[in-house]
């Protein structure tokens, strides 16, 4: 059996049909809004409805056992749609430079990088953070701004970014 965090689903806009999928899952909701949800299916959960976007784990930092994101006070969730021409370079930047630099910041505990399953493609990046202000700090931007970032900075122009926290119980 795979650890539960090797596969997950995300919902960017709520729909009535998708809410039924929440009963057997760990659910995270955006701190500054209520339209985006992150769903981690339970071991015996059915496949979520087509409203949910499926992702598979690609890379984790630091290396080792997959962290338990439910224990993180907050999750920074970033979804980036990359063109075919940009995908490989952006993936390399995420895995070889960006995740290690950002995790070196105080209050950033780990990184998990996912890729969308299926014919569509996007990256979904999760960061375990201690405070929702960390990803919007000057320190976050300073450490990200490298020559490699300058070459790939156009890619996240098509992205969603938000800080999430675990939701106690699903709304019905």
Position 32 scores a pLDDT of: 81
The CATH number given to whatever domain includes residue 27 is 3.30.70.100
Query: Between these two residues, 39 and 63, which has the higher pLDDT value?
Result: 63
Tell whether 120 is covered by a domain.
Answer: yes
Position 172 scores a pLDDT of: 45
Tell whether 156 is covered by a domain.
Answer: yes
CA 14 remoteness from chain centre? 17
Work out the average pLDDT over 102-121: 89
Does the structure show a pLDDT above 70 at 39?
no
Does the structure show a pLDDT above 80 at 149?
yes
Tell whether 171 is covered by a domain.
Answer: no
Work out the average pLDDT over 113-140: 90
Q: Residue 152: which residues within 8 A CB-CB, separation 6 or more?
A: 86, 89, 90, 93
Does the structure show a pLDDT above 70 at 40?
no
Position 13 scores a pLDDT of: 45
Per the structure, how many domains does the chain have?
1
Cβ(70)–Cβ(109) below 8 Å:
no
Work out the average pLDDT over 97-124: 90
Tell whether 20 is covered by a domain.
Answer: yes
Measured over the CA atoms of residue 109, residue 123, residue 43 and residue 20, the dihedral's sign is positive
Cα-trace Rg, the chain: 16
Does the structure show a pLDDT above 60 at 165?
yes
Does the structure show a pLDDT above 90 at 46?
no
Does the structure show a pLDDT above 80 at 169?
no
Q: Residue 155: which residues within 8 A CB-CB, separation 6 or more?
A: 80, 82, 83, 86, 90
| Beta strand extents in 31-104 (DSSP E only) | 37-41, 53-61, 74-80
Position 21 scores a pLDDT of: 52
Query: Between these two residues, 7 and 100, which has the higher pLDDT value?
Result: 100
Tell whether 122 is covered by a domain.
Answer: yes
Bond from prior residue into 62 cis (ω within 30 degrees of 0): yes
Instruction: Residue 152: give the domain boundaries.
Output: 4-166
Rounded Cα–Cα distance for residues 58 and 63 (Å):
12
Tell whether 172 is covered by a domain.
Answer: no
Q: Residue 92: which residues within 8 A CB-CB, separation 6 or more?
A: none
pLDDT band of 4, cuts 50, 70, 90: very low
Work out the average pLDDT over 10-23: 49
Query: Between these two residues, 94 and 70, which has the higher pLDDT value?
Result: 94
Secondary structure (3-state) at 13: coil
At residue 62, φ and ψ (nearest 5 deg) are -70, 160
Tell whether 94 is covered by a domain.
Answer: yes
Does the structure show a pLDDT above 60 at 3?
no
Rounded Cα–Cα distance for residues 77 and 38 (Å):
9
pLDDT band of 154, cuts 50, 70, 90: very high
Helix (H) or strand (E) run with residue 15 in it:
none
Rounded Cα–Cα distance for residues 129 and 152 (Å):
24
């Amino acid at each position: 059996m795979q650890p539960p965090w090797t596969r997950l689903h995300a919902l960017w806009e709520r729909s009535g049909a998708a809410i039924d999928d929440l009963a057997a899952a760990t659910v995270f909701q955006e701190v500054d809004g209520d339209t985006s949800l992150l769903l981690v299916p339970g071991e015996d959960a059915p496949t979520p409805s087509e409203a949910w976007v499926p992702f598979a784990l690609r890379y984790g930092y630091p290396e080792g056992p997959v962290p338990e994101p439910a224990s993180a006070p907050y999750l920074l969730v970033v979804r980036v749609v990359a063109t075919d021409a940009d995908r490989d370079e952006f993936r390399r930047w995420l895995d070889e430079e960006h995740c290690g630099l950002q995790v070196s910041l105080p209050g950033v505990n780990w990184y998990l990088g996912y890729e969308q399953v299926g014919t569509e493609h996007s990256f979904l990046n999760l960061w375990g953070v201690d405070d929702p202000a960390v990803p919007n700090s000057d320190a976050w931007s300073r450490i990200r701004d490298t020559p490699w970032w300058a070459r790939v900075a156009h890619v996240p122009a098509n992205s969603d970014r938000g800080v999430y926290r675990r939701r106690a119980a699903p709304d019905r």
